[in-house]
C-alpha cells in the first residue's frame, strides 16, 4: 500500500496533469476568442477627485442645487454620435465624438475613499493588506516593453505613489516621473555642483557599499536591481529622450490649440508617443483652476465648468493631433477617474461620491469608434443595461494593446491573472 505522502503526491500530479489538459483543450480555445487589437501606445488621462458623469459624458435632466432638485448641473448638446448627448462645455469633443467611445456603466463598490478607488481604477483590484498589485501602466510595460532604445516604457505626469507603481513586478517596470513639461525628469540630471571628480568619489563609495553587502550575504538581486535602475537612468539622460521635452519645437498655433499646463502635458504625451514611449499617464491635477480638481463637494462645483472646458480643449486637440500624425489608430486614449457623482446636491450645493455607475471615455486605439456602451437610469444613479466592471475595463485596454488579460504574471512563485476575470467590451473591436 502506498504511504499517505505518496498518495497525496500522486494525486497532486494527477490534478496538475488534468488541469493542464483542461487548459490546453478549453483554455487555449477561450484565449483564441479574445479580441486582439493593434494599438502600440496608451495615453491614460486621469481626472483626480472623481469626475461627475452626469455633468460631462452622461447628461440627464437639469437639476437645481438651490432647490435641491437632483439632476445635471448643465445643459446638453448634440454630438457626432447620433443619439448621444454630452455636456454643453464639451463642444470640441462633441464635434469629433465619432472618434470616441463612452462607457457609461463602469462601476465598483468603493464610495467614500478616494485612495482606495484610485487604487481600484489603476490596479483593477481591491486594496490588499498583503500584496501590492501592479498598476495598469506597469503591466503594459511588463507585457509590451520598450519600443525604442533609451526611452522608458512608462511615463507618469501626475502624483507618484504606489497606486501607479509596479507592485510585485519590481522597479524595472516602474514609471519615470515628470514634474513639468519643459525640462524632463529632474532626477536624470546631475545636481548643480557635482563635478566629474565628485561624481567619481561617489561611485567609489557606492562600490564599497556593494562589496559590504556581498560580504554580509545580502541578496545579490538587491544590488543588481539598483544597478539596473541606475543604468536605465543614464540611458534616459541621453539626448534621444531629453529632446522630447523641447515643446518649443512645436508650432506656436498648435501649442495654443492645446491650451494651458494640462494641454501642454497632452502635447508632450504625443511627443513621447512619437519617441516610442508605450504608456503615459497624464493627470489633471487637483491644483488646476479650482484647487479641488474634480472633487466638487460644496462650492467646489462652481468652477467645475472651467475644468470641463480645459479638458475639452486639450482632449480634442490631442485626438486631432494624433489623427493628423497618423498615430490615432495606434494610440488608445483612456479618460478615467476614481468614481462619479450622484444626481443629488449636498448641503453646500456640490455633490458627493458615486461608484455604482460612472463614465470612462476611450478614443482611437484601432477600436470601432463612435459607439456608446451602457445605459443608466433617468438620474444616472443605477445601471439599466450593459454594466462594465473595472476588470472588464482593464481587459478592454489590454486587448486593444494586444495583451492577453487572462495571462498570468507572478508575485514571487504565486501566479496572478493580469485581470480579475475581466471580460473585454467586445462590441468595440472590429471583426477579425
DSSP 344-405: S--TTS----B-SSEEEEEEETTS--SEEE-EE-TTSSSEEE--EEHHHHHHHHHHHTT--T
Handedness of CA 209, 215, 217, 221 (dihedral sign): positive
Phi–psi pair at 84, nearest 5 degrees: -110, 125
CATH topology for the 32-184+246-428 domain: Alkaline Phosphatase, subunit A (3.40.720)
At residue 282, the 3 state secondary structure works out as strand
Q: Supply 269's cell numbers.
A: 504625451
pLDDT at 221: 63
Phi–psi pair at 345, nearest 5 degrees: -100, 145
What residues are paired with 165 via a beta bridge? none
Q: Supply 142's cell numbers.
A: 511588463
Instruction: Show me where the domains of the chain are located.
Output: 32-184+246-428, 190-236
For residues 412 and 169, what is the distance between their CA atoms, to the nearest angstrom? 9
For residues 163 and 182, what is the distance between their CA atoms, to the nearest angstrom? 25
Strands (E), 80-226: 85-87, 100-107, 154-157, 176-177
35 CB contacts (<8 Å, ≥6 apart)?
Answer: 399, 424, 426, 429, 432
Instruction: Give the other-Cβ count within 10 Å of 127's Cβ.
Output: 17
Task: Decide: pTM greater than 0.95.
Answer: no
Q: Supply 180's cell numbers.
A: 513639468
Cβ(343)–Cβ(70) below 8 Å: yes
Q: Supply 357's cell numbers.
A: 455607475
Q: Give me the tens of pLDDT residue by residue for the chain, a chain 432 residues long.
A: 455 545 444 544 444 434 433 333 334 445 458 999 999 999 999 999 999 999 999 999 999 999 999 999 999 999 999 999 999 999 999 999 999 999 999 999 998 899 999 999 999 999 888 899 999 999 999 999 988 888 899 999 988 889 999 999 999 999 998 876 765 565 455 555 667 677 678 778 877 877 777 777 766 666 666 566 555 555 555 566 777 888 989 999 999 999 998 999 999 999 999 999 999 999 986 566 656 789 999 988 998 999 999 999 999 999 999 999 999 999 999 999 999 999 999 989 999 999 999 999 999 999 999 999 999 999 999 999 999 999 999 999 999 999 999 999 999 999 999 999 999 999 999 986
Q: Which secondary structure element, helix H or strand E, spans residue 200, and what is its range?
A: helix 196-215
290-301 in b/e form (b: 16+ CB < 10 A) is: bebbbbbbeebb
Amino acid at each position: 500500500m502506498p504511504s499517505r505522502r505518496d498518495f497525496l503526491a500522486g494525486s497532486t500530479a494527477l490534478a496538475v496533469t488534468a488541469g493542464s489538459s483542461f487548459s490546453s483543450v478549453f483554455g487555449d480555445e477561450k484565449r483564441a476568442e479574445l479580441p486582439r487589437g493593434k494599438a502600440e501606445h496608451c495615453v491614460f488621462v486621469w481626472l483626480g477627485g472623481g469626475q461627475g458623469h452626469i455633468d460631462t459624458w452622461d447628461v440627464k435632466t437639469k437639476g437645481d442645487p438651490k432647490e435641491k432638485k437632483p439632476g445635471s448641473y448643465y445643459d446638453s448638446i448634440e454630438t457626432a454620435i447620433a443619439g448621444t448627448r454630452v455636456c454643453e462645455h464639451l463642444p470640441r469633443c462633441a464635434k469629433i465624438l465619432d472618434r470616441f467611445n463612452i462607457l457609461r456603466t463602469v462601476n465598483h463598490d468603493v464610495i467614500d475613499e478616494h485612495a482606495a478607488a484610485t487604487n481600484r481604477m489603476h490596479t483593477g483590484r481591491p486594496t490588499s493588506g498583503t500584496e501590492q498589485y501592479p498598476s495598469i501602466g506597469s503591466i503594459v510595460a511588463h507585457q509590451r516593453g520598450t519600443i525604442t532604445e533609451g526611452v522608458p516604457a512608462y511615463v507618469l505626469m501626475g502624483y507618484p505613489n504606489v497606486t501607479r507603481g509596479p507592485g510585485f513586478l519590481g522597479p524595472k517596470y516602474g514609471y519615470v516621473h515628470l514634474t513639468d513639461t519643459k525640462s524632463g525628469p529632474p532626477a536624470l540630471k546631475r545636481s548643480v555642483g557635482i563635478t566629474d571628480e565628485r561624481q567619481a568619489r561617489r561611485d567609489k563609495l557606492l562600490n564599497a557599499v556593494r562589496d559590504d553587502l556581498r560580504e554580509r550575504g545580502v541578496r545579490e538581486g538587491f544590488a543588481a536591481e539598483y544597478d539596473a535602475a541606475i543604468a536605465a537612468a543614464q540611458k534616459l539622460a541621453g539626448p534621444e529622450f531629453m529632446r522630447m521635452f523641447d515643446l518649443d519645437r512645436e508650432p506656436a498655433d498648435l501649442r495654443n490649440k492645446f491650451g494651458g499646463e494640462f494641454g501642454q502635458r497632452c502635447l508632450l504625451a504625443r511627443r513621447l508617443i512619437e519617441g516610442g514611449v508605450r504608456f503615459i499617464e497624464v493627470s489633471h491635477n487637483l491644483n488646476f483652476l479650482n484647487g479641488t480638481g474634480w472633487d466638487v463637494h460644496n462650492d467646489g462645483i462652481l468652477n467645475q465648468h472651467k475644468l470641463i472646458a480645459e479638458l475639452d480643449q486639450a482632449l480634442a486637440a490631442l485626438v486631432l493631433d494624433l489623427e493628423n500624425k497618423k498615430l490615432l489608430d495606434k494610440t488608445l486614449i483612456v479618460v478615467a477617474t476614481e468614481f462619479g457623482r450622484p444626481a443629488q446636491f449636498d448641503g453646500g450645493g456640490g455633490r458627493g461620491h458615486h461608484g455604482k455607475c460612472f463614465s470612462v471615455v476611450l478614443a482611437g486605439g484601432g477600436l470601432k469608434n463612435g459607439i456608446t456602451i451602457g445605459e443608466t437610469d433617468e438620474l444616472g444613479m443605477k445601471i439599466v443595461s450593459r454594466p462594465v466592471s473595472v476588470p472588464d475595463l482593464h481587459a478592454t485596454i489590454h486587448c486593444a494593446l494586444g495583451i492577453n488579460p487572462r495571462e498570468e504574471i507572478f508575485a514571487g512563485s504565486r501566479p496572478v491573472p493580469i485581470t480579475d476575470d475581466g471580460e473585454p467590451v467586445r462590441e468595440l473591436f472590429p471583426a477579425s
